[in-house]
Structure 1
Amino acid sequence: MVHSWKSYVFLFISILVTTCMFLLDPLSIQFGRQLDPIIIGIIIFGTIISIIFTFLTLFSRLEKKVIPYIALTITIINLIIILFFLYLGKNIA
């Protein structure tokens, strides 16, 4: 059992989405609102790709599961944050 490229891509995409979520506000302040659609697109598409890679890596029998579990944890935290802000935007704003 080894870690394949799918595990590392899954981890990279999960970390990329988290980084984009943290850098959305500082980059908006620095560069104006020009980068917002690009960063939000990376967050949305990265989350969708992370969910797809969840199934690809966790249901593979030939792979170790340590890195996919770490990436899955990061993806779940990202989803919770996204859903929280969608809830706030819908009910409070």
Structure 2
Amino acid sequence: MPFIGCGCPFFCYEKGFLHAKVLISDNLACSGSANMDMRSFCGQFELNAVFFDHKVVERLVQDFYTDLSVSKEVLLSEFSKRPTLQRFKEVFARLLSPLF
């Protein structure tokens, strides 16, 4: 996670697993499962939807804060102390990721 020390807070959802990505800006929201890479868009047929309806955007804002309330902030000081085995698994997974 190279951006963890750049001033943007990171949170870990602690009530399960969330795969959806949500971007909210003013009266516009984008939500879906796609990562911003060609594999997600072309190979895995993932997609996102853009919402302009104020009620839908407001609901996504409410859902975001609900999810944030059951999340823990990941601090750089804690993240850098993760075990060597965990770091090795991350590197190995990153090497294999283009294959899947």
What TM-score, normalized to structure 2?
Answer: 0.26
Query: Which gives a bigger RCO, structure 1 or 2 (Cα 8 Å, sep 6+)?
Result: 1
Larger-Rg structure: 2
The answer to which structure has the higher helix fraction is 1
Between Structure 1 and Structure 2, the one with more strand by share is 2
TM-score of the aligned structures, taking structure 1 as reference length: 0.28
